[in-house]
Structure 1
Amino acid sequence: MSVITLDQANTIIAAAFAKGKELNLKPLSIAVLCPGGHLIAFQRADGASTLRPQIATGKASGALALGINSRAIADMAAERPSFVASLGPIAAAGIIPAAGGVIVKDAAGKIVGAVGITGDTSDNDEAAALAGIAAAGLVAQG
């Protein structure tokens, strides 16, 4: 099974922080997970609040668990709130129904992990994730 390497994870994180700086975002927290949902790398910016590691991880792990980016999970939550709410207790790292959790694929289209970012608006979190993924030479699931 192909997975995001530590070097790629660090590139994702550095580029996502750079995008956050470029857009003048609030302090971000960034988690990069392997396809099995295990943490490869995590960093948080100075000033990030205390629950951000769990939120970032929950965005990425929820995307992997359901096979869709966390933005789509948010849409699902609007349509079927009871169903999505019932998933949290059975998901080890949680499921966060807000944009910012993006499944990552390699050039061949295989899932190699996921990125979860939190700290600013969900749209901005996702923009930073997409920038990080592209910088690592990987592909975001559409």
Structure 2
Amino acid sequence: MAISLRKARTIIRKALEKGRELDLKPLSVVVLDAGGHVQAFEREDGASPGRFQIAHGKAHGAVMFGAPSSVIGEIAKERPHFGAALSGVYGGQIVPVPGGVLIKDKKGAIIGAVGVTGDTSENDAAAALAGIEAAGLVGVV
């Protein structure tokens, strides 16, 4: 199963709605497919222009490594040399903090990832998860 543009837009819309519900700072949300390709991206008014790279780094690390960005962050803390090597392997395109959430289908297959940035990392992850669940998919934080 691939992430359709319709599902990607639902994830983004619902993640942004969750951000407004929680009164978060302006968010930026990217949805990647299982190959790490951008399916959709939106940046709320007031979000800084560099947020695409941060959101992308969270999601890219998650989908390429097969684990949420929060897990990558814990690995990097425990084994800094491995964390640095991962960053090098993926051309520096990993942001190892919460907010990069894996997307699985109902059968458990990884079909992509969402990256959210703009507020605290934990709030970013909560917004991502809300978007994924609203699209009828399973998020792994």
List per-residue Cα deviations over 1:90-124 (Å, max 9, x = no partner): 31470111000011011111111110000000000
**Within 2, Cα distance between the matches of 1:3 and 1:36?**
10
Give the corresponding residue for 1:28.
27
The alignment of Structure 1 onto Structure 2 pairs a total of residues equal to 141
Moved over 3 A (4+): none
Give the corresponding residue for 1:43.
42
Q: TM-score, normalised by structure 1?
A: 0.95
Q: TM-score, normalised by structure 2?
A: 0.96
**Within 1, Cα distance between the matches of 2:91 and 2:33?**
15
Give the corresponding residue for 2:105.
106
Unaligned runs of 5+ in 1: none
**Within 2, Cα distance between the matches of 1:88 and 1:49?**
23
Deviates more, 1:81-90 or 1:30-39: 81-90
SS at match of 1:108: coil
- Distance verdict in 2 for CA 1:16–1:131, change over 3 Å: same
1:124 matches 2:126: no
Contact 1:54 1:93 (8 Å CA) reproduced: no
List per-residue Cα deviations over 1:52-90 (Å, max 9, x = no partner): 101101100100111100010111111012221232233
Task: State the percentage of identical aligned residues.
Answer: 56
Contact 1:20 1:28 (8 Å CA) reproduced: yes
CA-based RMSD of the aligned residues comes to 1.2
SS at match of 1:40: strand
SS at match of 1:58: helix
